[in-house]
Amino acid sequence: MTNRTPFVGGNWKMNTDATTGNALARALASGLDTSGGVEVAIYPPFVYLSSISQSLAGSDISLGAQDAYHEPSGAFTGEISLDMLKDCGVRSVLTGHSERRHVIGENDTIVNKKTRAVLASGLQVVLCIGETLDQRESGKTDAINEHQTRAGLEGVSRDQLSRVVIAYEPVWAIGTGKTATPEDAQNAHARIRELIATMYDQNAADAIRIIYGGSMKPGNAGELMAMPDIDGGLIGGASLVSDDFLSIIRSSVAQGV
């Protein structure tokens, strides 16, 4: 039985401003009391990363970015490179978030390029996967998760996998108030873990953190994270309220994932 340290991430999306974002970061930094029993990262908007890095100074909360561009520099107007993110104190990057896939239009090839670039830069990646409502209703959840996991991790080495967290986020559950049942989420996570064993080996599968995202909140976090293959959460809306996010973090430690 592998003891995986739970991972809880807060995806702020396009929310907060300089004042509220820094206030939130400071509230989290001063309220976090987990004695290392959980890994916590927050993903504020790009433009606040540098100042929030100061607000987090001395805390155990890692700074993350919601996206990154895979090229190192050059004529890519509007994009942000991994070196730029590192300059701001970023240690973790989201790839393949459903809003990047389904709202912005990123395909598997782009998600894979970004995932590989993040890993090549030495940072941690949180690779997000998950099915839409139509795909779920036509029984394709596991097939979509398999496809997105294989595509996202193409070319990722066994060594690099230790810096990968997989976030299973059913698209229909993100920001909708609808949550997968703990049993449905557990089934999906168990299949993803089996797939990692097939793609790499059993030790890699036992070690990788697979977290759940989709309307996780203080009221449902405990039962979700009590499931054996759910190793934490990626939290959107509830990560914008410090007491709610801290409560979810405490649930992850209490479950001793």
Q: What are phi and psi of 15, to 5 degrees?
A: -130, 165
Among 6, 236, 252, 257, binds ligand PEP (CB under 6 A): 236
The residue count for binding ligand PEP (CB under 6 A) is: 14
Residue with tokens 């509220």: 20
Residue nearest to ligand PEP as judged by C-beta position:
236
Q: Give the interface segment with ligand PEP, choosing from 143-151, 195-203, 232-240, 248-256 (CB under 6 A).
A: 232-240
Strands 209-213 and 90-95: unpaired
How far is residue 172 from each of residues 92, 124, 130, 140, 223, measured CA to CA in Å? 25, 26, 9, 14, 19
Instruction: Judge whether 34 and 249 are in contact, CB under 8 Å.
Output: yes
Residue 66 CA to residue 52 CA, distance in Å, equals 14
Alpha-carbon dihedral angle through residues 24, 30, 35, 38, given to the nearest 10 degrees: 0
| Nearest CB to ligand PEP, comparing residues 39 and 169 | 169
| Nearest CB to ligand PEP, comparing residues 61 and 234 | 234
97 is catalytic: yes
- Give min distance, CB of 185 to ligand PEP, in A: 12
169 is catalytic: yes
- Give min distance, CB of 45 to ligand PEP, in A: 13
| Nearest CB to ligand PEP, comparing residues 169 and 229 | 169
Contact set for ligand PEP, span 163-222 (CB under 6 A): 169, 174-175, 213-216
Binding mask 70-109 for ligand PEP (x = CB under 6 A): ----------------------------------------
- Give min distance, CB of 22 to ligand PEP, in A: 21
| Nearest CB to ligand PEP, comparing residues 81 and 148 | 148
**Which residues are near ligand PEP by CB under 6 A?**
11, 13, 169, 174-175, 213-216, 234-238
Instruction: Return the active site residues.
Output: 97, 169
